[in-house]
Amino acid sequence: MKYALVNGDRQEAKAGLRGVCQACDLPMTPKCGQQRIHHWAHRTVNCDAWWERETLWHRDWKNRFPQEWQENRITGPEGDFHIADVRTHYGTVLEFQHSHLSAVDRRLREAFYGNMAWIVDGMRNGKDPATFASFLSANIPDYGKVRGWRFQLRRFPLVDNWVSATSPVYLDFGDTIFPNTGLPPHELLWRIKKARTGRVIVTPFLRQNVIDHYKLSTPLEGFDPHPPPSGPQDYRSMDWP
């Protein structure tokens, strides 16, 4: 974890410090080696079975939000608890998911956190950015209130695995450039959502726009449709907030 309590204050890991877990009060050890980002580890097993080994990607995402929103203990009705990556001032939990998550586990977390959104690391599997790009170029952009692309749901586990989520899901392909899309060359997040036809709509947003949406409660603003809408658009009534 990024934080432990040292004499009652949240602190980042540093060699020589002694801390306790802010969720379970058990002792934690600072890990400040060369291989992984500096972090705190429980001396025994992590009290949060949902905790994912942190990567630089996780840490970068947490750091885009105020410190006091990061790594918040959320307690369920039966006293069980988990540590949310970020819990915003507005009560939304943001989970930054790097590794594969089964549908069962995803549903459990969505039920526990309620008001939440997923940011999914699209760079974990080296082939996924190229596969995603090939889907974009093979499909004509679809125009509703904002620009999006409509995919057939097939043979793309990264999208297939997340399309049934009940909470918003944003794929993060880092600075991958998707040519010939008419979009800015980097810093996008792609929201995925099932369309009524059973297909998938992927909608790009500027990464900063999504961050601001959760950080400042500003509206999510997709890219203007161009050319103007024509033909069937089965997602125009989608509930974009």
Nearer to Zn ion, 21 or 238 (CB): 21
Applying CB under 5 A, the site for Zn ion has a residue count of 4
- Which tokens sit at 68? 């006091």
CB of 98 to Zn ion, least distance (A): 20
CB of 20 to Zn ion, least distance (A): 8
CB of 23 to Zn ion, least distance (A): 4
Name which of residues 41 to 70 contact Zn ion (CB under 5 A): 47
CB of 214 to Zn ion, least distance (A): 25
Nearer to Zn ion, 24 or 123 (CB): 24
Radius of gyration of the chain (CA): 19
Nearer to Zn ion, 20 or 37 (CB): 20
Distance, CA of 95 to CA of 84 (rounded, Å):
7
Nearer to Zn ion, 4 or 116 (CB): 4
Distance, CA of 62 to CA of 174 (rounded, Å):
15
| 115, 93 Cβ separation under 8 angstroms | yes
Q: Residues near 186 by Cβ (< 8 Å), separated by ≥ 6?
A: 175, 176, 177
Residue 30 DSSP SS3: strand
H helical segments located in the chain: 56-62, 103-113, 128-138, 157-160, 207-216
- Which tokens sit at 142? 């679809």
x/- track of binding to Zn ion for residues 6-45 (CB under 5 A): ---------------x-xx---------------------
CA nearest to 94, candidates 232, 228, 210, 11: 210
CB of 170 to Zn ion, least distance (A): 28
Name which of residues 115 to 154 contact Zn ion (CB under 5 A): none
Nearer to Zn ion, 4 or 238 (CB): 4
CB of 25 to Zn ion, least distance (A): 7
Q: Which residues contact Zn ion by CB under 5 A?
A: 21, 23-24, 47
